[in-house]
Chains A and B, each alone.
Chain A
Amino acid sequence: MTNAALSKMEMNIVLAGVGGQGTLVAGKLLGILAIHLGLDVKVSEVHGMSQRGGSVITYVKIGRKVFSPIIEKGSADYCLAFEELEALRWSGLLKQDGVLIVNSQKIKPLPVLMGKAVYPDHIEESLTAAAGTNASVKEFDALTAALSAGSSRTVNMVMLGALSDQMTIPAEMWEKAIAEVFEGKEKLIPMNLKAFHAGRELMR
């Protein structure tokens, strides 16, 4: 993509996961990336109760002028699900021709642990079938990739790496944003870069 094309980019990205999976940091990183591209951006987070292991969602909206910080049903270009059940929960946000990127990791929620609900089987197959030709579903094991990079905490970078492979923004710009988001915690940068590149590989 040329610089002129990048400056006209409009992009809605959903980051859905479980409290503690690093969706907030991923959202902040996309915000920094948008500033570097000279675009307007809004990143909407949810704090408080949802962080206690609950379902968390971050919306990132990038464009020449962004109004509402919320991504509504049928409006997400990309939906990054950091956990398989969360992919199911938030898949309705995906727009026509959107891409659903799913970490196959399963984190059982309380009702499932208590035997009051069942964690659905074959989520990937169900999502792929439901998407049909309207959208694409790409699932992989981001947790294993994160662990090989050095920590389960880098699942967020694996997911962003996968997204970056779809978005044609030069890799150096992503790397610059990663360095900026870890300002003051520089020793974490190599591990996170490794996870980011592992995510790119997973999409190929």
Chain B
Amino acid sequence: MGFSLKQILLGNEAVARGAYEAGVKVVSSYPGTPSTEITESIAQYDRIYCEWATNEKVGAEVAIGASIRGARAMTCMKHVGVNVAADPLFTASYVGVNGGLVFIAADDPGMHSSQNEQDSRNYARAAKIPMLEPSDSQECKDFLIKAYEISEEYDTPVMLRLHTRVSHSRSIVECEEPKDIIIRPYEKNIDKYVMMPGMAIKRHVFVEDRMLRLSAASSAEPEKTGLHKMQFKSSELGIITAGASYQYVSEALPEASVLKLGLIWPLPSSFIREFASKVKRLVIAEELDPFLETEIRAMGIACEGKSLFTLQGEYSASMIRSALSDNPNPVSAISADSLPTAPGRPPVMCAGCPHKGLFLALSRLKVQVTGDIGCYTLGALPPTSAMDCCVCMGASIGMAHGFDKATDGEASSNTVAIIGDSTFLHSGVTNLINAVYNQSRITVVILDNSITGMTGHQQNPSTGLNIRLCPAPAVNLEDLCRAVGVHSIRVVDPVDTSLCQKIIKEELEKDCVSVVITRRPCALIPKGKGRKEDRTVVNYEKCKACGQCIRMMCPALTEGSDKKPVIDEAACNSCGLCINLCKFDALTKGGM
């Protein structure tokens, strides 16, 4: 990457740049929208060691180890990833740091690509660690650098809270020359680094004192730290806000006084008191939970917040303007009233997607499916509608085992757990061990597409490559399943829907844990690309317009005016699924 002073960076890229400039040495993360691009972007800085960890807990523990041994370290995850990493996080708070340690938690208000809308700020309060919240790309970089200073000065892990609109918005960043990487001296110190009751009791005292000192420092020198910003204008209305909400407030209420918090935990209580005393009406603008509002009320300060704004989804300038300003919101030039309704455009499985064949088989088998997190969660939607539940990473296998035990084994003859390769290694394998150990009768399908697909194609321990695409040892999924005690393991190409259906049916009938691995690389990665000469062609004389191929919803295959399929050559990935489905041999390989 060429160095230039001003760059237009995603918030996530700016965090990576900040890590580079701050002299971070070790980064270990598991991908998750909207955090993924941070670690991907770190990979461009050769001097930083970075890796994809098997899950967020592992990533956090690697970073904790690196910090204890003296390096500045970072681990990045989406909000639900923090749940996985919560165990090390809470005790890392007691242990503190040697080299600076930063956890990045990227929230997803509005759930652009998530299963819930949890608010990571609650973790900072619960784990008793400081949290910073930037509101644009420049602050992403600046606050991360600041986070390392706080971490080392106060002997604490620091959490940087991002969210989708900050992570995935590009704005201008002034880049600077990086600091040298420094490895601080390491000394054995079991009172600080071994958390047994005798040591932890003392460290807890330290933790509480640390948070008081931080709160006082944040209040005493609010401007000096560069983290808080007070813009005093009208005394009629004052807004306390942070992160993306600050941007909406600034756009909607140019006349209001605004206190923008950068360090959002612990709160600068006397600074907040001072601001509150200067305004007649105090409003808290924050997405998701009433986190600041609850704390500010607890200080005995009267304020409004969730009585005006929602607990759900993202805020906007219009929402804030409607609630607090006499200025009207803009009016569209084109009114929707006089227009036809636009049908929705939900995401679909890609042309050549290997999951499509499996889902057709599951749909035909009419089985109950416990699902998991990945592109394949789309199988829950039409046309296959082949999923009954999906909760979190790795849960499919445990839930299927629960189906089995709830029905004394009856459910196992028609229940299938489905899980991707990366999700299986993340947290499915522990569930598989549990199922074998507790004599389950479930059938598990591992969808091995040789990549972590949903988050945009990251490598994982089964792909044979590391984050920098250098060769790495690959976990053999069959060997792994065998080693934990699974005796019935079958491998099938999911494009062969009929064979897939037959094998799953056979495994469902067995009274033990079975694993079926559906193996075919994702159509969007180089090894999943089909040959041009194998693209589907239509023999229109043989085609009976039965609609079988059209109903499987391949983006490369659409319905022509005569109800017969039309192939989009540029989109067809030569998987042959439609050819396998056609009962009239009207579809064949042979596109040019």
Which residues of chain A have a CB within 8 Å of any CB of chain B? Answer: 18-19, 27-28, 31-32, 34-35, 40-55, 66-70, 72-75, 85-86, 88-89, 91-98, 100, 108-114, 116-120, 123, 126-127, 129-131, 134-135, 152, 183
Name which residue of chain A comes closest to B8, CB basis.
A31
Name which residue of chain B comes closest to A151, CB basis.
B570
- Are the C-beta atoms of A113 and B347 separated by less than 8 Å? no
Known: A32-B8, A110-B345. A130 touches B338 (CB 8 A): yes
Contacts beyond the supplied A51-B456, A52-B348, A135-B333: 14 A-B pairs with Cβ under 8 Å: A18-B345, A42-B169, A44-B168, A47-B456, A53-B345, A53-B555, A74-B330, A92-B334, A109-B343, A109-B346, A110-B348, A113-B558, A120-B342, A126-B338
> Within 8 Å of chain A (Cβ to Cβ): is B6?
yes
- Are the C-beta atoms of B165 and A69 separated by less than 8 Å? yes
Q: Which of B8, B335, B375 contacts A130, CB < 8 Å?
A: B335
Residues of A near B6 (CB, < 8 A) are 35
Known: A28-B8, A43-B170, A52-B378. A113 touches B333 (CB 8 A): no
- Are the C-beta atoms of A112 and B333 separated by less than 8 Å? no
- Are the C-beta atoms of B343 and A117 separated by less than 8 Å? yes
- Are the C-beta atoms of A48 and B333 separated by less than 8 Å? no
- Are the C-beta atoms of B338 and A129 separated by less than 8 Å? yes
Known: A74-B330, A88-B339. A47 touches B555 (CB 8 A): no
Residues of A near B344 (CB, < 8 A) are 55, 109, 111, 117
Known: A69-B247, A96-B331. A52 touches B347 (CB 8 A): yes
Residues of B near A119 (CB, < 8 A) are 343
Name which residue of chain A comes closest to B338, CB basis.
A130
- Are the C-beta atoms of A94 and B338 separated by less than 8 Å? no
Residues of A near B329 (CB, < 8 A) are 72-74
Residues of B near A67 (CB, < 8 A) are 247-248, 250-251, 317
Size category of the B interface is 35 or more
B residues 324-378 in Cβ contact with A at 8 Å: 329-336, 338-350, 375, 378
B residues 501-546 in Cβ contact with A at 8 Å: none
Distance between Cα atoms of A100 and B332 in the complex (Å):
12
Chain A nearest CB from B276 CB (Å) reads 23
Q: Which of A19, A70, A88 contacts B317, CB < 8 Å?
A: A70
Chain A nearest CB from B21 CB (Å) reads 20
- Are the C-beta atoms of A135 and B334 separated by less than 8 Å? yes
> Within 8 Å of chain A (Cβ to Cβ): is B382?
yes
- Are the C-beta atoms of A114 and B349 separated by less than 8 Å? no
- Are the C-beta atoms of B343 and A112 separated by less than 8 Å? yes
- Are the C-beta atoms of A52 and B350 separated by less than 8 Å? yes
- Are the C-beta atoms of A131 and B333 separated by less than 8 Å? yes
Distance between Cα atoms of A51 and B112 in the complex (Å):
11
Name which residue of chain B comes closest to A56, CB basis.
B345
Residues of A near B334 (CB, < 8 A) are 91-92, 94, 100, 127, 130-131, 134-135
> Within 8 Å of chain A (Cβ to Cβ): is B396?
no
Name which residue of chain B comes closest to A147, CB basis.
B570
Distance between Cα atoms of A54 and B168 in the complex (Å):
17
Name which residue of chain B comes closest to A44, CB basis.
B169
- Are the C-beta atoms of B559 and A113 separated by less than 8 Å? yes
Chain A nearest CB from B522 CB (Å) reads 12
- Are the C-beta atoms of A41 and B8 separated by less than 8 Å? yes
Residues of B near A129 (CB, < 8 A) are 338
> Within 8 Å of chain A (Cβ to Cβ): is B429?
no
Name the 8 nearest CB pairs between A and B, nearest first: A48-B113, A74-B330, A52-B347, A117-B343, A135-B333, A54-B347, A109-B345, A48-B33
Q: Which of A18, A46, A52, A95 contacts B375, CB < 8 Å?
A: A52
Distance between Cα atoms of A126 and B330 in the complex (Å):
22
Among B247, B318, B346, B383, the one with the most A-chain Cβ atoms within 10 Å of its Cβ is B346
- Are the C-beta atoms of B165 and A44 separated by less than 8 Å? yes
> Within 8 Å of chain A (Cβ to Cβ): is B455?
yes
Residues of A near B229 (CB, < 8 A) are none
Residues of A near B484 (CB, < 8 A) are none
Distance between Cα atoms of A152 and B333 in the complex (Å):
31
Distance between Cα atoms of A183 and B332 in the complex (Å):
38
- Are the C-beta atoms of B316 and A72 separated by less than 8 Å? yes
- Are the C-beta atoms of B455 and A48 separated by less than 8 Å? yes
Name which residue of chain A comes closest to B9, CB basis.
A31
Sampled A-B contacts (21; CB under 8 Å)? A35-B8, A42-B169, A44-B165, A47-B37, A47-B113, A47-B456, A49-B113, A52-B375, A54-B345, A68-B317, A70-B317, A73-B329, A88-B339, A91-B334, A108-B559, A109-B346, A110-B383, A116-B382, A117-B343, A126-B339, A130-B335
> Within 8 Å of chain A (Cβ to Cβ): is B553?
yes
Interface readout for B25-57 with A: 1 if CB under 8 Å, 0 if not? 000000001101100000000000000000000
- Are the C-beta atoms of B172 and A40 separated by less than 8 Å? yes
Distance between Cα atoms of A69 and B456 in the complex (Å):
23
Residues of B near A113 (CB, < 8 A) are 550, 553, 558-559
> Within 8 Å of chain A (Cβ to Cβ): is B287?
no
Residues of B near A108 (CB, < 8 A) are 558-559
> Within 8 Å of chain A (Cβ to Cβ): is B454?
yes
Name which residue of chain B comes closest to A69, CB basis.
B169
Residues of A near B378 (CB, < 8 A) are 52
Distance between Cα atoms of A91 and B337 in the complex (Å):
12
Interface readout for B162-181 with A: 1 if CB under 8 Å, 0 if not? 00110011111000000000
> Within 8 Å of chain A (Cβ to Cβ): is B448?
no
> Within 8 Å of chain A (Cβ to Cβ): is B551?
yes
- Are the C-beta atoms of A134 and B169 separated by less than 8 Å? no
> Within 8 Å of chain A (Cβ to Cβ): is B142?
no
> Within 8 Å of chain A (Cβ to Cβ): is B136?
yes
- Are the C-beta atoms of A46 and B112 separated by less than 8 Å? yes
- Are the C-beta atoms of B558 and A74 separated by less than 8 Å? no
B residues 432-446 in Cβ contact with A at 8 Å: none
Residues of B near A96 (CB, < 8 A) are 331, 333
Residues of B near A47 (CB, < 8 A) are 33-34, 36-37, 112-113, 168, 456
Q: Which of A19, A35, A44 contacts B347, CB < 8 Å?
A: A19
- Are the C-beta atoms of B333 and A97 separated by less than 8 Å? yes
Distance between Cα atoms of A54 and B34 in the complex (Å):
17
- Are the C-beta atoms of A72 and B317 separated by less than 8 Å? yes
Known: A28-B8, A70-B316, A75-B330. A45 touches B170 (CB 8 A): yes
- Are the C-beta atoms of A53 and B33 separated by less than 8 Å? no
Known: A72-B330, A74-B329. A85 touches B342 (CB 8 A): yes
Distance between Cα atoms of A52 and B168 in the complex (Å):
17
Residues of A near B168 (CB, < 8 A) are 44-47
Chain A nearest CB from B295 CB (Å) reads 25
- Are the C-beta atoms of A42 and B136 separated by less than 8 Å? yes
Q: Which of B170, B333, B349, B555 contacts A27, CB < 8 Å?
A: B170
Residues of B near A93 (CB, < 8 A) are 332
Known: A55-B345, A68-B251, A110-B553. A73 touches B338 (CB 8 A): no
Q: Which of A53, A126, A152 contacts B340, CB < 8 Å?
A: A126
- Are the C-beta atoms of B33 and A130 separated by less than 8 Å? no
Residues of B near A183 (CB, < 8 A) are 2
Distance between Cα atoms of A67 and B321 in the complex (Å):
14
